[in-house]
Amino acid sequence: MINGFTLTDPSTASGERLEVFKKAEQGFGFVPNIVNAFSESPALADAMLGLYSKMGQTGFSETESHVVLQTINVLNECVYCVPAHSTIARSKGVEVSVDESLRNAEVLNDPKLEALRVFTTQMVEQRGHLEEGQFQSFIESGWSKRAALDVVYLLTVKTLTNYGNHIAGTDLDEKFQGLAWEPKRAAVGA
């Protein structure tokens, strides 16, 4: 953890933090460090839990949702969210090869999934200001207007969690450490 953030022992929490920890326990089966760190702002932690609870309401399959989420995590260089999402997605049946490609910012073999990855990348890098041809390309790849808006929803979730983790320097939970990740950095010097 950085910037003076610390983790609170859930067994000694009270008030708003205790309520947040109870919701996390119900949703995840434990209190992830991200929720613990975010509980410094119960509004943020509660918003995150609420947004996560509705992610299954998008029109995306588990793999499609992971393509969007992990693409954003990698672009935002979130060293907490990349391994957390890898661990969870793989446990839910997302192919390791798809996850590895996403973790390495590589082209996906499935053309429709690749179109989703490209669209998500454009949304992040261009802050939602897509050119007409980019949106049309997404639609022509077999995606719908709903899918485009579902990307916006997932982008909202990941902006909240990625940026919060950057500020708090959230420690990686033990259960996610097996898939720890660091962003690739360009070589310095010649």
10-21 pLDDT, tens digit each: 888 888 888 999
Closest CA to 69 of 166, 61, 32: 61
Q: What's residue 187's pLDDT? A: 54
**Which pLDDT belongs to residue 189?**
55
Q: How many helices (H) and strands (E) does the chain have?
A: 9, 0
Question: What are the domain boundaries of the chain?
Answer: 10-53, 59-179
Show the low-confidence residues of the chain (pLDDT under 70): 185-190
Angstrom distance (rounded) from CA 117 to CA 106 = 10
Instruction: Judge whether 137 and 45 are in contact, CB under 8 Å.
Output: no
Question: Tens digit of pLDDT for each residue in 80-100?
Answer: 999 999 999 999 999 999 999
pTM over 0.75: yes
DSSP collapsed to 3 states, 104-133: CCCCCCCHHHHHHHHHHHHHHHCCCCCCHH
- Check: CATH 1.20.1290.10 for 59-179? yes
